[in-house]
Amino acid sequence: MNDGEQEKINFSELANFSPKQKEAEQALRNYKYVLYGGALGGGKSYWIRWILLKLLLLYYMQTKQKGITVGLFCEDYPALYDRQLSKINFEFPEWLGKYSSMTHSYTLKSEYGSGSIVFRNLDDVSKYKSAEFAAIAVDELTQNHEDMFVFLRTRLRWKGIKNTKFIAATNPDGIGYLWVKTKWIDKVFPEEESEKELFTFVKALPTDNPYLDESYIKSLSSLPEKKRNALLYGDWDSMEGQFFEEWTTRKHVVFPFEIPNSWRKFRSIDVSGKNGWTACGWYALDYDGNIWKYREYYATNLESDIHAQNIAELTGNEKIHYTVIDNSAFSRIGLPETIAEIYIKNGIQNLVPSSKNRIAGWDFVHQYLRWNEKDGPRLKVFSSCKNTIRTIPACIYDKNNSGDLDTDCEDHIADEMRYFIQTIRDGKSQRPITAAYKRLKELYNN
């Protein structure tokens, strides 16, 4: 973008960006999807509202279009008011434009293009299905699910403007932690992503904010280790509220090796509908009762019979002692046949229903993940299980139940892991026999 004409109103003097905020400002020249922040106190909310103001001015200078609209979004109205609306009248100059509390928008005066920043919440994104924005900013991106991002991308368009922008600010926490980290920090994208080279992250720490009081930084320094690492140092591997706090890559992840034929092998499956994720894990139990996860399957947008066929194909001729499956797979309510029956028909035999006791199950998972420097964990994962390594450390606590994880996070692999570990006691495999399993066995043995 050409900033030459912008000097007429001296935007730099108006915004008074810190050096780190200027770095993020520069990133907008080369990238479409810019994430700023990563810790508390880096001036994130301030930056995104002022950068939207700059974009409005630049878009008008470049196109001479009037009435261009950009949007600034928060997860709900209280957050929108606290972080943004309460600041507008004190920061944006009256000679440049006017804020309307009726429409929750700031509109530039006619001589500056009559463009508007509209302030909206994300409690129901479908409200904006007919809206269009030349730029979109989301404050605290990780407080939202990925579906929000997918939807807002479809609203990012404006006639005559080719350099539309998606801007976000966030801390490394919240229900959207994993998908945000995957795209902007780890730079891992699905094959269909055609703009992967247009994503960038500008890390800002409290120490990058020259207007922050030293006492605030000292208070962050006093936080417990994981919160301190995330909120003071912007460490994306020390998420606040992490459910599996025992997890550490250097202890739990190992290079693949050939599993001895004498070790018993198992499978564990978390099933889902076509639009959800189906997860399967393959596990080996050694002579000391240690568990080794050596293979994974993780897929969506497929019917149950296709999932089952894929799992059977990956298994090949391996002898599987038994396969634990989500107990809901045995339900016939409203169905001509159960999911369990579909799996059996397609080559997944010896099915065992998972336990319904989630809290006890998570307790066993914690036990198997726990470790010290002398004795390693009893559960280890092959480095080839990429989705396990990605999702397990990103699971967070349920705010209403400290013994459970938040089911809004990407918990499918964690669930199938729990199903299997609940069938292991004192290093020995146990096979729970239920009435449902007996009926299935009789049905397919006849």
| Location of each CATH 3.40.50.300 domain in the chain | 4-216
Q: Are 271 and 326 in contact (CB under 8 A)?
A: yes
Q: What is the pLDDT of residue 426?
A: 34
| Location of each CATH 3.30.420.280 domain in the chain | 249-445
pLDDT in tens, 309-339: 999 999 999 999 999 999 999 988 777 889 9
The mean per-residue pLDDT over the stretch 53-70 comes to 94
Q: What is the pLDDT of residue 435?
A: 44
Could you tell me the CA-to-CA distances from 259 to 228, 262, 286 in Å, in that order?
Answer: 40, 8, 9
More confident site: 164 or 394: 164
Phi (first) and psi of residue 183, to 5 degrees: -80, -50
What is the rounded distance in angstroms from the CA atom of residue 73 to the CA atom of residue 49?
Answer: 10
More confident site: 192 or 41: 192
pLDDT in tens, 70-111: 999 999 999 999 999 999 988 999 899 999 999 999 999 999
Q: What is the pLDDT of residue 432?
A: 40
**CATH classification (class only), 249-445:** alpha beta
pLDDT in tens, 249-302: 888 999 999 999 999 999 999 999 888 999 999 999 999 989 999 999 999 999
More confident site: 171 or 443: 171
Residue 7 scores a pLDDT above 50: no
The mean per-residue pLDDT over the stretch 415-432 comes to 70
The mean per-residue pLDDT over the stretch 401-428 comes to 84
Indicate the average pLDDT of the chain: 87
Q: What is the pLDDT of residue 269?
A: 97
pLDDT in tens, 272-283: 988 899 999 999
pLDDT in tens, 29-56: 999 999 998 777 668 899 999 999 999 9
Q: Are 373 and 358 in contact (CB under 8 A)?
A: no
Under CATH, which number does the domain 4-216 receive? 3.40.50.300
Q: Are 248 and 410 in contact (CB under 8 A)?
A: no
More confident site: 1 or 247: 247
